[in-house]
Amino acid sequence: MTEADLYFLYRGVYVPKLIHTEASLDYFQNFTFRPQDVLIVTYPKSGTTWMQEVVPLIVSGGDPASVETIPNWDRVPWLEEVRASILNLEGRPSPRMLTTHFHYSMMPPSFFKAKPKVIYVMRNPKDVFTSIFHYSKMASFLVTPDSQSEFLQKFLDGKVIFGSWFDHVSGWLNADDKDRIMYISYEEMIMDLKDSVARISQFLEKTLDDEVISKIADRSLFKNMKQNNMSNYSAVPKEFMDQTKSQFLRKGISGDWKNQLTAAEADHFDAVYRDKIKDVQHKFVWD
Ligand code: A3P
């Protein structure tokens, strides 16, 4: 199936039809944020599910029930997706935990007024590409790549779900109101998860003792999240996600692009990256 079959364009970016409708996008546009909300923002495959594990654990003071009793898509729901409107988010107590894959330029008016806290997670785009490539083969609501080279060109051109990685990252990094945004990378979390958890809890103004921080970091390790049926997507029917083709929690490492891209593809990626990211003043961990 093609992009025309599975996606529609919303403000210039592709969104999958199965989980987005005109009504769900209207809900997003009219959503009323609160200053106490915590919003996880990611380009897909950058560590969304991981952060959907870490944040509830921090907010609950380390209570494992916060991630073991409710699936990640309901505990920290995507605001633009169909499910958001049926979850009674208006009735949830603060701090509400929310997620979006949308670009900064697509955020609704209330986001700029209420100024909720944002945790923006970014990941080496070559690993994002690698992860999406495998994900696209197992998720029936995504276009299955014809070939790696064809899909790579689409990724670099932003003709994939949620548009261009480069636009997403530069838009959020150049946000006007950076003081309420915490920028963190997947690679920092890989390198030192405990330190990352400590910094995130500080940003969320949640004081936790060292032992609790260690427990949260341990609970959020890849191997432990893989065992959590509320986070490993095993509850999704095979017709939507066929984990026999590729697991949702696939490898959980940084640098897997080295096993995926040819030398020529990596060089081409680097050339496009250098050009598209040249105006962004940020020291990326992977540079
Ligand atoms: P891989 O496909 O490279 O393994 P998202 O949640 O944004 O869709 O991102 C999914 C990616 O994050 C997958 O990458 C997944 O394995 C990885 N991931 C999820 N939880 C993780 C964890 N606890 N540690 C490391 N990587 C994790």
In the predicted model, is pLDDT for residue 18 greater than 90?
yes
**Residue 135 alpha carbon to ligand 1 centre in Å:** 11
| Token pair of 48 as six digits | 């969304």
State in Å, rounded, how far the first CA of the chain is from the last one.
Answer: 36
In the predicted model, is pLDDT for residue 93 greater than 90?
yes
**CA nearest ligand 1 atom 22, residue:** 222
Contact 47, 128 (CB under 8 A): no
Residue 268 falls in the annotated catalytic set: no
Q: Where are the chain's structural domains?
A: 3-276
Please state the three-class secondary structure of the chain as a single string. Answer: CCHHHHEEEECCEEEECCCCCHHHHHHHHCCCCCCCCEEEEECCCCCHHHHHHHHHHHHCCCCCHHHHCCCHHHHCCECCCHHHHHCCHHHCCCCCEEEECCCHHHCCHHHHHHCCEEEEEECCHHHHHHHHHHHHHHECCCCCCCCHHHHHHHHHHCCCECCCHHHHHHHHHCCCCHHHEEEEEHHHHHHCHHHHHHHHHHHCCCCCCHHHHHHHHHHCCHHHHHCCCCCCCCCCCCCCECCCCCCCCCCCCCCHHHHCCCHHHHHHHHHHHHHHCCCCCCCCCCC
pLDDT band at 287 (very low <50, low <70, confident <90, very high): confident
**CA nearest ligand 1 atom 24, residue:** 222
Query: 12: which residues sit within 8 A by CB, 6+ positions away?
Result: 163
Half-sphere exposure of 183 (CA within 13 A, CB side): 16
**Residue 233 alpha carbon to ligand 1 centre in Å:** 12
Indicate which residue of 20, 101, 103, 168 is catalytic: 101
Please report the pLDDT score of residue 141 as a whole number.
97
pLDDT, tens digit (0-9, with 9 covering 90-100), for 98-125: 999 999 999 999 999 999 999 999 999 9
d(CA 83, CA 79): 8
Contact 140, 6 (CB under 8 A): no
Which amino acid makes up residue 122? M
pLDDT, tens digit (0-9, with 9 covering 90-100), for 48-72: 999 999 999 999 999 999 999 999 9
pLDDT, tens digit (0-9, with 9 covering 90-100), for 141-160: 999 999 999 999 999 999 99
Q: Which atom of ligand 1 is nearest to the CA of 44?
A: 7
Please name the residue that has the structure tokens 């989980």: 19
To which CATH superfamily is domain 3-276 assigned? P-loop containing nucleotide triphosphate hydrolases (3.40.50.300)
Model ipTM over 0.90: yes
Please report the pLDDT score of residue 209 as a whole number.
97
Contact 77, 87 (CB under 8 A): yes
pLDDT band at 282 (very low <50, low <70, confident <90, very high): very high
**CA nearest ligand 1 atom 8, residue:** 45
Ligand 1 pocket, residues with Cβ under 6 angstroms: 42, 44-50, 127, 131, 134, 220-222, 225, 249-252, 256
Can you say how many angstroms the Cα of residue 230 is from the centroid of all Cα atoms in its chain? 17
Mean pLDDT, the chain, as a whole number? 97
| Token pair of 53 as six digits | 């594990």
